[in-house]
Structure 1
Amino acid sequence: MSNGKNRVWRLAKRPEGTASDNDLHLAEEAMPEPGEGEALIRTVYLSLDPTNRIWMSDMDQYMEPVKIGDPMRGIIAGQVVKSNTPKMKEGELVMGVGHWADYMLTDGRGLSVIGKPGQVPLAELFGVCSAVGPTAYFGLLHLCEPKPGETVVVTAAAGAVGSVVGQIAKMKGCRAVGIAGSDEKCQWIKDECGFDAAINYKTEDVGAMLDRYCPEGVDILFENVGGSIMDEVLARMNDFSRIALCGLISQYNATEPVPGPYNFKQILMHRIKVQGFITSDFAKDYPKAMAELTQWMGEGKLKFRLDIDKGLENALTSLNKLYDGSNQGKLMVEVSEVAAA
């Protein structure tokens, strides 16, 4: 920022329900200076994800919650402005865990260097490959091991991860049935992403539509939502079917205990394998995933949409689009522009 200032979103208190301006505060602070072994990163893009809401809470989770008063954690794509470490050179682009801020200091932990600006726009590379693509790739291929002819159901299917899951399932010879929240989203995953069928959970009877589109049952569920929709799919899972539990977005803003799933007995009766996962569990296999994902992108086999808002000051408002379903694709905030190499 000009005048040597840095804007930082800091967690003021734990949200109850949907996060609001009372829960996070956008502070204007002095520009940080990198010490020995550190680099100063200027944020270009900030990824907005359901896990942001988890990190704000003090619930049992896979990472330490953001502490009150600390910068809000987020996945970022940034550019090195100053460097006092051989790990990162000025002008290089990086991706990984960072802060909701214009600038941040880092010793490189949690970040990957992706080199100088290239021919593939950073927004596309970051939007598909930073977390979305690997999440879909590992959750479906490593945990569920899809076989040709199997039926794969994807919840939040028009979302960034869900839409990629369905496309990979089709590449592997499966039938893909998506559940989304509008006619437009259902049309998009069928026409552009190649899903065999789509269900609008807001206007259609999900159970009846699953019976229509999955007459031989469900072999794989890629679960992003939880709640009553997950229950409907559970009731139709086949023997030895598999569930990749990626998210439970319907529950993250809940202020009371969430009941269910009521069809939990199906896991026993049909010997269903259920595996929760976080993308970082597969860090050692990232190079293979990135190679395949970028190849599919280059070949035009992966369709995607980016929903990019502008301005760090709009990060919190933009985040809540995830919970009312108004985002159209991978949700990000453009914080600044990439400087020429």
Structure 2
Amino acid sequence: MTSAWQDHISPGDIVTFRFPIRKATDGEQPKPRPCLVIEVEEWAGKQFALLAYGTSSPRKANSGYEVHALQPEDYTRFGLDRPTRFIGKRTIMVALDNPSFDSFRKTCSPVLGRLSGQPAERLLHVRARIQADRDMARATMLRLLLVPTGAPYPFSRKPFPMIKLFLRLRATLLSNPNLTHRGQVGAIKDGKSAGGLSFGYVIPVDPLTGLRKVGELVIDEDQALIIRRIFQAFADGTSPRAIAHQLNEEGVPAPRGGGWKVNTIYGNAGKGTGILNNELYIGQRVWNRLRYKKNPETDRRNARHRASEILGELIEGITIRHDAALGATLEIEGKLLEMLKKQSPPKRRAMYRTLVR
């Protein structure tokens, strides 16, 4: 990288920076250490970088906000000489012309290297969490500044209670679902899963760090056997009620514990709910099909369609059933719907319509 490294720096670069010491003694100066660039922003025409603290200490604190380069093939490729953890909970925002950047004589640049592979993917999740925290803090400050005029706080001289701050933060989160939705859209575009965990899958665990690989899915073979059994029984003509009864008789565990119900198996074809309608079992991930809004009177969630914003893609390695099974299922469901339409009695006309005429 040239001497004008400020023009090319971006999230994922590793730089040497004299990160401030938390409890420095008299005369103690911070030493140069590798730091990870989390964000690069421009304020008032000046470039700033959000740096994450880098350390070789093997502590496990703040694991949800960390990016690891622990394997020799990783940290040597990134320009490091030892296993390093970058802590996203310990960051600092500095200008790119800050003298604490420690540049090398040969390159006139403090950049050591750049993340790639699994650590780079992990950085995306850490950046999303940090951005969500910043959005929540910004929204909380706006709510505090826009308190109704008659409120006794925070404009009074009394100290603002932390419990009230927590309640206001919780209210902000509940009233701003777009914060969560924006992060889910980013996960889907990265090829990750942003919805709930469907029956038949588990979230894998990284053997090196012990952390769950959020957004990835692996087939649970024990649950997959139950799913294949349900589809085969339904294709053979067994009703969902009979399938649920048979599974309960045998003591087969249901997705959420307890007993099997008809809705768990049959669900709603229009909403894509139920085991028989889950397109994830054929490798087709469909997300953002529905949006849920709570009714303040009944405190129950109501589902609404998002037909114009549905995101779908084919995912390899998560197929439990085949297209033939799906075709047989849809054909049987179509026949059942036609049969129910023929058997259902005609609807009665409302009395007020006759009176109006």
TM-score (norm 2): 0.23
Q: Compare relative contact order (CA 8 Å, sep 6+) and give the higher one, 1 or 2.
A: 1
TM-score (norm 1): 0.24
Larger Rg: 2
Q: Which structure has greater helix proportion?
A: 2
